[in-house]
Amino acid sequence: MDEAVWAAAPWYGLDHHILGEVPIPQDFSGRYKLLWGQDRLYLLAEIVDDVLYDSHPDPLSFYWDDDCLEVFVDEDASGGLHQYDFNAFAYHIALDNQAVDIGGQRPDGSPEFILLNDHVNSAWQRSESDPRTIVWEVALKIFGDNYQHGDPGAQPVPLKAGKKMGFMLAYCDNDGSDEREHFMGSHAIQAVDGDKNRGYIDASVFGKIILQ
Ligand SMILES: [Ca+2]
Ligand SMILES: [Ca+2]
Ligand SMILES: [Ca+2]
Ligand SMILES: [Ca+2]
């Protein structure tokens, strides 16, 4: 994060409640910056989390109940449902830097979890100046709603100035419980039947960004 190019990018907050209790800052707090190039969207997140926890070694198993950074992207800012298709992506990036989303439904109706590691370069480390803080960097290829999982020819969408996309960031914080303790995000979400955990279902709750 000491690269000069980050200095000009503003910080955005990661302070909107989605699920669980609202954590005190020492338990979880976070902020982030974004940059872009033609080939990637670049994310830098500064996260305070008192306990880093990864209790499910299988990356496809209950990944939302381990600590993870969740990056939501809707390439064409269409909004709308995306839970079982690629109208938008919800990349759950785990502490081992693997990225998971739901790719569809199995014949019995249950979600099919898929690894999307070739979309995401992720790396984090504890801050040298403050070891309670972790600095998490992600370089993300942006795929459109025509993405076909398993197609070796799948190409990301080139980014350009003026492009509008749906975007949201969130962090699942667990410090040792059976289920995640807090889920905090970058944008206020209108609850449906008391539930603000809508990002993995409906891209309409994402924020909108315009590349400039
Ligand atoms: Ca915590
Ligand atoms: Ca895990
Ligand atoms: Ca879309
Ligand atoms: Ca944690």
Q: How far is CA 18 from the centre of its chain?
A: 14
What's the pLDDT at 87? 98
- Sorting pLDDT into bands at 50, 70 and 90, what band is 45? very high
What percent of the chain shows pLDDT beyond 70? Answer: 100
pLDDT in tens, 53-68: 999 999 999 999 999 9
CATH number of the domain to which 60 belongs? 2.60.40.1190
Q: Which ligand is nearest to the CA of 53?
A: 4
From the CA of 66, which ligand is nearest?
2
9 lies in which domain range?
4-210
pLDDT (0 to 100) of residue 1: 84
The rounded Å distance from CA 21 to ligand 4 centre is 13
> At 197, which amino acid appears?
N
Compute the mean pLDDT over every residue in the chain, rounded to the nearest whole number: 97
Structure-model confidence comparison of residues 85 and 132, the more confident one: 85
Which percentage of the chain shows pLDDT scores above 90? 97
Contact 64, 156 (CB under 8 A): no
Determine the average pLDDT of the residues in 119-146.
96
Q: Per-residue pLDDT tens for 157-187?
A: 999 999 999 999 999 999 999 999 999 999 9
Nearest CA to 134 out of 44, 6, 21 is that of: 44
Backbone angles phi and psi of 64, in degrees to 5: -75, -15
The total domain count for the chain is 1
Per DSSP, helices labelled H in the chain are 4-7
Q: Is the pLDDT of residue 2 over 90?
A: no
Residue 151 pLDDT: 95
Ion ligand 2, residue ranges at CB < 5 A: 54, 56, 66
Counting ligands in written order, which one lies closest to the CA of residue 206? 3
- Would you say residue 131 has pLDDT above 90? no
